Amino acid sequence: MQAMSDAHQFDVIIVGSGAAGLTAALVLAERARVLVLSKGSLDAGSTSWAQGGIAAVLDAGDTFEDHIRDTMVAGAGLNRRETVEFVIEHAPQAIQRLIDLGVPFNTEEGALHLTREGGHSHRRIVHVDDATGWAVQTALLKAASENPNITMRENMVGIDLIRDRNAVDPEGGQAVWGVYALDSEKGGVEALTAKATILAAGGAGRTYLFSTAPRGATGDGIAMAWRAGCRVSNMEFMQFHPTCLYNLEVKNFLITEAVRGEGGILKLPPEAGPEAGKRFMPEFDERLELAPRDIVARAIDHEIKRLGLDYVHLDISHREPEFVREHFPTIYERLLGLGIDMTKEPIPVVPAQHYTCGGIRVDLDGRTDLPGLYAIGECSESGLHGANRLASNSLLECFVFGDSSARDILSRLDTAPAPPQIRPWDESRVTAADEEVVIKQNWTEIRRFMWNYVGIVRTDKRMERAANRIRLLLEEVDEYYGNFRVTKDLIELRNLLKTADLIVRSARKRKESRGLHYNADYPQADAVARDTILVP
């Protein structure tokens, strides 16, 4: 058997080209040859979609301790304090690195302009208008594309991690040596090897019918790590963003938290009859529209179900038109194109899945349970978010853990062994799929029952129904996967289903309500906060 070509061997492979993956790549490229894999185009992940901004203590009246406390309060006591301190104390230097890369953050009188979002006690969100993620992604991609030590490949779909057992002469170890990936443009599966592998593959939002996540957020990294033998924790904590635009033609358009931060009010629409125009958040929380996301999402869900509505209204039309246009230019233009002038009328909104707080369990260097494997960003569970992510802490986590994981890898690179000779992907016993409709049908079914049974409000009975459906589908998809050649859709379906299984198993284990997990059968929180840890 021939040795693998240099084109398939790198020092580090990164699965994912968003904020976490590219941050790690740029640090690693100081001394390492890095391959970055993107499932679609390089800018198709969640980073580009992030409207709000990045949280950091930069204001004279703010303190690390205040940001730590706000994060812990939002996380309902489930955060790991050492992680929270680590991330928040490294936030200012993460912002400075982005400024050095050319990210054009908004300024006011020579200083960074800071906005405020729900759950924050101070103005501490740096932003680029209302399209921060796009500006960050653009700057990171530019820097990575100009770096000779970074190779980036689009349309590469990770299938499974390469482990010791995939070696030509396996020795029974647990190490990870790279990834088998499908080139979805040219066809064919490649075995890509490296001394270290980083999963920066994003979240699992597309497990749900309504989601603000991009099409590719199918839990790939989480499912791959689970199959390889990593523990997964706190998967029941799915964050639902309270305010996604309700429009039958436009899916997944988020109305940023900052609209409420700058004075937006939630009201009942005309369909509410005599209650039309009523501001309802005072009945749910003294922090009103600036309560943490789980509380606002449940309040909206409650009103929608109570009155049989399709949506509620978010109204910022009482602010000066120039202020609204200046602060939210992207949202203003997009809504105007749909016939909604947010300076004069309210915006119809509905909650939608927004962020995966659980994931692959990692330490402060992003290390997983398996030697050579790291996980960073939304696919990981670092302890930062706990039972509910505080607004604008997500991009921050990507930058801090992208840096820390890269530095840990660099500290070990010179002494790390080279990958063993790996067996190529075996397609000798499979044929081309005969019924693509099977994949589409199962995909739709999973997203619908997850929304109905394991959504914003859950019960034991609903979750049992979801578990029964998943059991049948796992058998069906496993059989299908074993008989047919892999395609992007089949890989995503397999991962989506496994992620749904992990969410339901985690949710059924938690016999309380905490943060994002609300079970109507157990409405109170336990006295002691405990992680839900699943072991393969």
Could you give the C-alpha distances from 454 to 116, 124, 503, 518, 519, in angstroms and in order? Answer: 31, 33, 8, 10, 9
CB-count exposure of residue 148 (10 Å: 0-12, 13-18, 19+): exposed
Strands 347-356, 238-245: pairing kind: antiparallel
Strand partners, 315: 265
Indicate if the alpha-carbon torsion angle 73, 78, 79, 81 is positive or negative: positive
When computed from its CA atoms, the radius of gyration of the chain, rounded to whole angstroms, is 23
Nearest-5° Cα angle at 22, 17 to 25: 120
Dihedral through CA 459, CA 465, CA 466, CA 469, nearest 10? 180
Tell me if residue 429 is catalytic.
Answer: no
Residue type at position 469: R
Task: Kindly provide the residue ranges of all beta strands, DSSP E only, lying in 188-308, ordered along the sequence.
Answer: 189-199, 232-233, 238-245, 265-267
- End-to-end, the C-alpha distance of the chain in Å comes to 33
Long-range CB contacts for residues 518-523, cutoff 8 Å, separation at least 24: 518/294, 518/298, 518/456, 518/457, 518/458, 519/458, 519/459, 519/460, 520/457, 520/458, 520/459, 521/459, 521/460
Which one is catalytic: 80, 206, 260, 293?
Answer: 293
Nearest-5° Cα angle at 330, 324 to 332: 45
Catalytic residues: 293
